[in-house]
Amino acid sequence: MVNLPDGGDNGSVGLPSRDGRLSGRVAIVTGSTRGIGAGICRRFAAEGANVVVSGRSEAAGEAVAREIHNAPTAGDAAFIECDMREPEAIESLVERTISEYGGVDVLVNNAGVQTETGVEDATLDDWSFVLETNFRAYWLAAKHAIGYMPAGGSIVNISSNHAFVTMPEHFPYNAVKAGIDGMTRAMALELGPLDIRANTVNPGWIEVERTREELEDGRYEAVEELHPLGRIGQPGDVAGVATFLASDDAAFVTGESLLVDGGRSVVMDDDAFRSYKRTL
């Protein structure tokens, strides 16, 4: 276990203890050094969970863990470095969590990458990069965690609204996101008799670093207008749903894929496809 440095901003978590729905539980959140994953870690800790922050960046991961550790939340956090493309590292992530906390109650598979490639121009390297990180790693993390999960355990797979509707030049990202939903159903079917649930959260546009980079030159406001709720989502919007699915409030919910996209998917048409056709 990586030791947590001293210091940090006690007020930066910004989430007081809520209902304690995850009190005493241990949660692994992959890809949680920033963005949606970091938001889930903060909310889980606010709900009483001890959280394992994981990712490739030791500096960023320890910063998230330190922030939670030094905040007045009910739960604690620590960082374990893990490259989700390395099967041995995934197994070690679970084993080190067990060594530190004695068990694992919740697994949130969140780590993900994408390429700006289409079906025709995607390469085998693109394929391997996305599938190993976004798909194989989800299976391996669950495979290693299941044996330690008690009855009432929960797996939350973070997918995307691309599993339902998509845009050009997002392959194989969009294919994998649909595959995650199928994987979730397979997990729900086989793990249900063990009283372990598996569900998917499918976020739409969420304001993270990558989104801000994509939506330059006034596009941010234009995309906001495409949402019935009139805004792009925040990591906390996803974290709240993940908390529900990880908690006993969702004790009879398994095998589901829940869109968290501000109503974006109910909008039938915009200019994205027409713009793409004009480039052909």
Any residues with CB less than 8 A from the CB of 37 and at least 6 apart, and which? 29, 30, 31, 53, 55, 108, 110, 111, 158
CA distances from 93 to 28, 83, 102, 177, 193 (A): 9, 9, 13, 23, 26
From the list 101, 138, 148, 173, the catalytic residue is 173
Compute the distance between CA of residue 141 and CA of residue 149 in angstroms, rounded to an integer: 12
Which among 128, 172, 136, 127 has a CA at the least distance from the CA of 157? Answer: 136
Compute the distance between CA of residue 263 and CA of residue 258 in angstroms, rounded to an integer: 12
Which among 87, 70, 81 has a CA at the least distance from the CA of 30? Answer: 81
Question: Does residue 276 carry a catalytic annotation?
Answer: no
Residue positions annotated with a catalytic role: 173
